[in-house]
């Protein structure tokens, strides 16, 4: 790179602070150094919490319309600089530029939803006289901010998943300490600048990159942090929950999304959409389509058409407008997937298309995969999909449920009774009928069961998670 490499210090109390050490941030696509990023420490987190305490008191006093105005302003500012933001995504995450633009458009809307929730947040009146003991009493609830929220975010949606932490937290009147993913901190610095420009009180948002064992752990164990909201692996999520004590936690963890294509469905209508669900952003999506179960009467035709459409995907530079598939987030993940595919082959599976090329995993379609193979039972987080036939709907539902995860699942069917049967039996947080499980809009409740996590995101639901309900009761019998 010819230009000067930017240096990104810590962002504490509304201004930058030099860190004791920095590390090189490299593009997953080119391997070039794109920034030098601060490495935060436990002491940095403690200092940030000190500042956040005062900022939390300020935020709690900020009227709802002013919190909404700040969030609205960030939405407008991001929309004005959307192309710049998309290029940051393509650079630090190797997200194809067309997909990156889609994420930024969603993020603009997510902050708008948060602004709306700041205005809508309310309690309710309680019918006290429903009990004889409650006669002559008036009661109502209010929702108050928790105080300081610790947010730990992943690399795959570094703008929009950060918005799902910051938006609800600020709508509710909290302060936030943000630990971005190691590979994607630049987007967090970018959004922090927008919040400062929008008038967020100093210290209400602080950005501290660094190792989870230092930065994340200190947020989890410090009692002044009242909630941890985390998106990442089940293993880390379990550790957070074990250390968090009585503080509130919302954990969005792993997934292994399955799709059922029922007998008689017109598969020509959904080939392109299912390919999109499996391979968008190289499968590095929490609800990426990983397992497809097709009725045996249509199985061969579906596989043939799915593979043909997959081969149309173009591999290239993430900044190229025609690129569908770019580098995976790390070479370690490329090697992991190669070993998992090799294991599946050793167990009798057939790879119909795929392979690796330096830092790229080519879109991979595998059939005849045993359910205990890693590409089937674990979360690949890569452009790999397994296609299997089934005879009965309950057999397919059981196959989808045979997973340690339960985030979202989908079914395509022309039969409403079979759709409702699947919706009832699928053991997941969200069932998409006549759509793939990769579908999400940012106002809907989002979360899973089993090892997919606890709590719900979606702006309204997350805002409520980030408040404490207080009851106020008047006794009119003086």
User: What is the Rg, in whole angstroms, of the alpha carbon atoms belonging to the chain?
Assistant: 24
Residue 334 CA to residue 389 CA, distance in Å, equals 28
Phi, psi of 236 (to 5 degrees): -70, -40
Roughly how many angstroms between the first and final C-alpha of the chain, as a whole number?
77
DSSP string, 91-122: HHH---HHHHHHHHHHHHHHHHHHHHHHHH--
234 in Cβ contact with 254 (< 8 Å): yes
User: Who contacts 436 (Cβ-Cβ below 8 Å, separation ≥6)?
Assistant: 259, 270, 273, 274, 276, 277, 289, 410
Comparing C-alpha atoms, which of 448, 453, 417 is closest to residue 431?
448
Phi, psi of 159 (to 5 degrees): -95, -55
Q: List strands edge to edge, sheet with 257-261.
A: 350-353, 364-367, 384-390, 289-295, 257-261, 408-412, 430-433
DSSP string, 193-254: HHHHHHTPPTTSEEE----IIIIIHHHHH-TTEEEEEEES-HHHHHHHHHHSTTSEEEEE--
Comparing C-alpha atoms, which of 301, 307, 285 is closest to residue 95?
285
Phi, psi of 359 (to 5 degrees): -100, 15
Phi, psi of 387 (to 5 degrees): -115, 130
C-alpha distances out from residue 33 to 1, 3, 40, 246, Å: 8, 11, 19, 41
Residue 28 CA to residue 33 CA, distance in Å, equals 10
The residues that bridge with 141 in the sheet, in sequence order, are 471
Give the catalytic positions in this structure.
Answer: 252, 286
User: Who contacts 131 (Cβ-Cβ below 8 Å, separation ≥6)?
Assistant: none
240 in Cβ contact with 271 (< 8 Å): no
81 in Cβ contact with 104 (< 8 Å): no
Strands 384-390, 364-367: parallel, antiparallel or unpaired by DSSP?
A: parallel
DSSP string, 457-473: BSHHHHHHHTEEEEEEE
């Amino acid at each position: 790179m010819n230009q000067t490499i930017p240096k990104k210090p810590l962002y504490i109390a509304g201004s930058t602070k030099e860190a004791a050490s920095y590390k090189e941030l490299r593009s997953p696509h080119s391997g070039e150094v794109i920034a030098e990023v601060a490495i935060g420490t436990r002491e940095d987190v403690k200092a940030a919490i000190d500042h956040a305490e005062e900022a939390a008191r300020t935020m709690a006093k900020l009227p709802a319309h002013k919190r909404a105005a700040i969030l609205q302003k960030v939405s407008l500012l991001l929309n004005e600089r959307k192309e710049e933001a998309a290029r940051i995504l393509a650079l630090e995450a190797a997200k194809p530029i067309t997909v990156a633009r889609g994420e930024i458009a969603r993020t603009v809307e997510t902050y708008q939803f948060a602004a709306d929730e700041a205005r809508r947040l309310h309690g309710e009146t309680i019918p006290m006289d429903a009990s004889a003991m409650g006669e002559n009493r008036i009661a109502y609830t209010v929702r108050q901010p928790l105080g300081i929220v610790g947010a730990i975010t992943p690399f795959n949606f570094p703008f929009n998943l950060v918005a799902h932490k910051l938006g609800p937290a600020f709508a509710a009147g909290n302060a936030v300490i943000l630990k971005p993913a190691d590979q994607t901190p630049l987007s967090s610095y970018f959004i922090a600048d927008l919040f400062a420009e929008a008038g967020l009180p100093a210290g209400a948002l602080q950005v501290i990159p660094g190792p989870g064992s230092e930065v994340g752990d200190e947020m989890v164990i410090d009692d002044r942090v009242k909630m941890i909201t985390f998106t990442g692996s089940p293993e880390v999520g379990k550790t957070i929950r074990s250390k968090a004590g009585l503080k509130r936690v919302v954990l969005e963890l792993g997934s292994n999304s399955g799709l059922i294509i029922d007998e008689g469905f017109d598969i020509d209508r959904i080939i392109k959409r299912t390919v999109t669900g499996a391979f968008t952003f190289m499968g590095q999506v929490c609800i990426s389509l990983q397992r497809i179960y097709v009725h045996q009467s249509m199985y061969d035709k579906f596989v043939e058409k799915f593979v043909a459409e997959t081969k149309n995907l173009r591999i290239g530079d993430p900044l190229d407008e025609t690129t569908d598939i770019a580098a995976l987030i790390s070479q370690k993940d490329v090697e992991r997937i190669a070993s998992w595919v090799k294991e599946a082959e050793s167990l009798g599976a057939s790879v119909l298309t795929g392979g690796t090329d330096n830092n790229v995993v080519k879109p991979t379609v595998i059939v005849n995969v045993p359910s205990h193979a890693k590409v089937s039972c674990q979360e690949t987080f890569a452009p790999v999909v397994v296609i299997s036939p089934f005879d009965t709907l309950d057999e397919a539902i059981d196959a989808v449920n045979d997973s340690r995860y339960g985030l979202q699942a989908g079914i395509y069917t022309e039969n409403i009774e079979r759709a409702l049967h699947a919706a009832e039996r699928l053991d997941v947080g969200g069932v998409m009928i006549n759509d793939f499980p990769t579908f999400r809009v940012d106002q809907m409740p989002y979360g899973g069961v089993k090892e997919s996590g606890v709590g719900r995101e979606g702006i309204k639901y997350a805002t409520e998670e980030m408040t404490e309900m207080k009851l106020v009761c008047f006794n009119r019998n003086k």
